[in-house]
Amino acid sequence: MSLIETIFPSANEVPSTWQLEAFIEQRAYLINGELHNWNGPMNEVISPVSLVKDGKLVPNSIGSTPLLTEKESLEALDAAVAAYNNGTGEWPTMAITDRIAHVERFLVEMKKQRNAVVKLLMWEIGKVLPDSEKEFDRTCLYMEDTIRELKNMDRRNAKFENEEGIIAQIRRVPLGVALCMGPYNYPLNETFSTLIPALIMGNTVVFKPAKYGVLLIQPLLEAFKNCFPKGVINIIYGRGRETVGVMMESGKIDVFAFIGTNKGASDIKKLHPKPHRLRSVLGLDAKNPAIILPDADLDIAVAEAVAGSLSFNGQRCTALKIIFVHESLISAFLPKFTAAVNQLAIGMPWDKGAKITPLPEPGKAAYLTALVKDAQQFGAEIVNENGGLVNDTFFYPAVLYPVNNKMRIYSEEQFGPVVPIVSYKDIAETVDYVVQSNFGQQLSIFGKNSATIGHLIDELANQVGRININAQCQRGPDMYPFNGRKDSAEGTLSVADALRAFSIRLLISTKDNELNKEIVQTIVREHQSNYLRLDYIF
Ligand code: G3H
């Protein structure tokens, strides 16, 4: 029997540290500083990790979450609107040092839940243990960096300008009520990379967890409740159709932070009655290509392309989703690449060294199989051993070659472990691919000749948000800007950029004369304003 057929464990084969004690019936949701208990219909959470029971593989139901209705989502929105209170609420007007103190308290509480969250990341989305730990730690670091950056920003603004006889102070203030929705592949990190900047800048928030990776928010609910004033953060659960639409239609959402598909984002944005009043911060689809030039170092190119296309089973928005290899290298590249794919250990998220794990989306293996069949019909072959083998929620990576533009996989984002490889003759073919693509997040160039790379950078610089040289595509380090063109993103996120995305500049100005200078000086000296001030945050 192959490893794939026996990949799933029985309940008692799961290491005791990672066993779930019981079914998690998560009925709590947070509105206006209160944890409510939902008595209505629930959504079942099925783990991608199926279990063997009496010799048969059975779906593994690990918990359930509330299916709230329009009513509760409007209550959450009302709570956020009331806490913002047209910008006069306690939270938006609070001194920055005090807002920071709330977030710091939350961070202390959050860190206590590391084990619980990591365990649920593995069970809910099948992310391997080291990556689950990394997601948690990276999120904590992101919060620490955000606090540091906010202090820096505040210090830079602690001064007066004087231009053309107008004295001014420029600060950043919140936008209003933010709706934050994250993706299932980074349900903690990507969600918090909008949620925390939104909060710390003084916005009030309605947060709806991702489609999968929902239970893992539960260990943090108490901390959210205890660390923020009522109504500042509201957490709801349920289907997007029922919960999000009605909030957007109300016109009371000022910022829409969403990581998901461009279609989903457009459908929701359209519902806002005054679109010009809605700021959107979107991380969307991508089809990042790797371009392997004739003189590329094959060891580097293969190592980066394997990690780039298959880490977390290819379920990263930044994953390399198509690989262009110069025809002169194809015969050397393919065996090296497939050999490296063969080396990737398969297993359960907690298995030591496991790289390829079961997939959380229902029907995903069938979708990927259909993509492979479509490619085969137009002449591609699966060039790696076991490629495309399926066992329940597990799909063994399929490397497809030769791929051409008739195939769906050429332009469709697979978001899974299928790696299409295209052989190209002329570099213009790769440039044309990038230019014609609906997406424009990142790309990777592999090669040694600086003149060729420099020229290619210049051709592609206005197509994507990031060009990686001899390295896979990636979001981090989080201090760097993360964005995209075309259907791939709206706005830029980095630790510093996110603070700007969730705020707007406020200019307080006056004509340069004795009366006005005295007024301004007195306000500052007597601490008469939270906004017009010169204090320095250490
Ligand atoms: O899914 C998209 C993530 O932002 C990718 O982040 O490149 O650090 O895996 P990453």
Hey, which of 125, 190, 284, 495 would you mutate to test ligand 1's pocket, going by the most ligand atoms within 8 Å of its Cβ?
A: 190
pLDDT over threshold 90, residue 76 = yes
* Mean pLDDT (whole number) for 343-355: 98
pLDDT at 35: 98
pLDDT at 44: 98
Compute, in angstroms, the gap from residue 185 CA to the centroid of ligand 1. 9
Compute, in angstroms, the gap from residue 21 CA to the centroid of ligand 1. 31
Angle CA 138–140–142, to nearest 5 = 65
pLDDT at 355: 98
CA 29, CA 43: separation in Å to the nearest integer? Answer: 14
Hey, which of 141, 212, 284, 316 would you mutate to test ligand 1's pocket, going by the most ligand atoms within 8 Å of its Cβ?
A: 316
In this predicted model, what pLDDT tens digit does every residue of 503-535 receive, in sequence order? 999 999 999 999 999 999 999 999 999 999 999
Report which of 341, 391, 383 is spatially closest to residue 366, judged by C-alpha positions: 391
Per-residue confidence at 241, pLDDT binned at 50, 70, 90?
confident
Q: Which atom of ligand 1 is nearest the CA belonging to 473?
A: 7
CA distances from 270 to 248, 275, 501, 503, 538 (A): 9, 7, 20, 22, 43
In this predicted model, what pLDDT tens digit does every residue of 285-316 receive, in sequence order? 999 999 999 999 999 999 999 999 999 999 99
Compute, in angstroms, the gap from residue 230 CA to the centroid of ligand 1. 32
* Mean pLDDT (whole number) for 44-49: 98
Q: Which atom of ligand 1 is nearest the CA belonging to 311?
A: 9
CA 443, CA 30: separation in Å to the nearest integer? Answer: 40
* Mean pLDDT (whole number) for 43-68: 97
Rg (CA), the chain: 25
Nearest protein CA to atom 8 of ligand 1, as residue: 475
pLDDT at 201: 98
Report which of 176, 159, 177 is spatially closest to residue 168, judged by C-alpha positions: 159
Hey, which of 318, 320, 442, 479 would you mutate to test ligand 1's pocket, going by the most ligand atoms within 8 Å of its Cβ?
A: 318
pLDDT over threshold 90, residue 71 = yes
Compute, in angstroms, the gap from residue 318 CA to the centroid of ligand 1. 5
- Is pTM beyond 0.95 here? yes
Q: Which atom of ligand 1 is nearest the CA belonging to 475?
A: 7
Tokens 């006005």 belong to residue: 516
Q: Which atom of ligand 1 is nearest the CA belonging to 474?
A: 7
Q: Which atom of ligand 1 is nearest the CA belonging to 183?
A: 1
Where residue 382 falls (left for φ over 0; alpha for ψ -120 to 50; beta otherwise) is beta
pLDDT at 522: 98
CA 385, CA 373: separation in Å to the nearest integer? Answer: 16
Q: Which atom of ligand 1 is nearest the CA belonging to 476?
A: 8
Per the CB < 8 A criterion, the answer to whether 329 and 425 are in contact is: no
Compute, in angstroms, the gap from residue 341 CA to the centroid of ligand 1. 21
Q: Which atom of ligand 1 is nearest the CA belonging to 185?
A: 1
**Residue 420: other Cβ atoms inside 10 A:** 28
CA 422, CA 327: separation in Å to the nearest integer? Answer: 9
CA 257, CA 180: separation in Å to the nearest integer? Answer: 5
Compute, in angstroms, the gap from residue 355 CA to the centroid of ligand 1. 16
CA 125, CA 276: separation in Å to the nearest integer? Answer: 36
Going from the N-terminus, what domains does the chain have, and what CATH number goes with each?
32-37+69-283 (3.40.605.10), 288-484 (3.40.309.10)
- The ligand 1 site (C-beta within 6 Å) comprises 185-186, 190, 316-318, 474-476
For a pLDDT cut of 70, what percent of the chain falls above it?
100
Nearest protein CA to atom 2 of ligand 1, as residue: 317
Per-residue confidence at 375, pLDDT binned at 50, 70, 90?
very high
Compute, in angstroms, the gap from residue 204 CA to the centroid of ligand 1. 26
Torsion of CA 451, 461, 497, 110, to 10 degrees: -70
Nearest protein CA to atom 6 of ligand 1, as residue: 475
In this predicted model, what pLDDT tens digit does every residue of 150-194 receive, in sequence order? 999 999 999 999 999 999 999 999 999 999 999 999 999 999 999
Compute, in angstroms, the gap from residue 16 CA to the centroid of ligand 1. 30
Angle CA 479–480–484, to nearest 5 = 135
Compute, in angstroms, the gap from residue 89 CA to the centroid of ligand 1. 35
Compute, in angstroms, the gap from residue 258 CA to the centroid of ligand 1. 14
Report the amino acid identity of residue 154: D
CA 384, CA 68: separation in Å to the nearest integer? Answer: 45
Hey, which of 142, 439, 474, 494 would you mutate to test ligand 1's pocket, going by the most ligand atoms within 8 Å of its Cβ?
A: 474
* Mean pLDDT (whole number) for 441-458: 98
* Mean pLDDT (whole number) for 134-142: 98
pLDDT over threshold 90, residue 380 = yes
pLDDT over threshold 90, residue 2 = no
Per-residue confidence at 1, pLDDT binned at 50, 70, 90?
low
Compute, in angstroms, the gap from residue 395 CA to the centroid of ligand 1. 21
pLDDT at 441: 98
In this predicted model, what pLDDT tens digit does every residue of 203-227 receive, in sequence order? 999 999 999 999 999 999 999 999 9
In this predicted model, what pLDDT tens digit does every residue of 85-105 receive, in sequence order? 999 999 999 999 999 999 999
Compute, in angstroms, the gap from residue 136 CA to the centroid of ligand 1. 13
Average model confidence (pLDDT) across the chain = 97
In this structure, what DSSP letter does residue 406 have? T
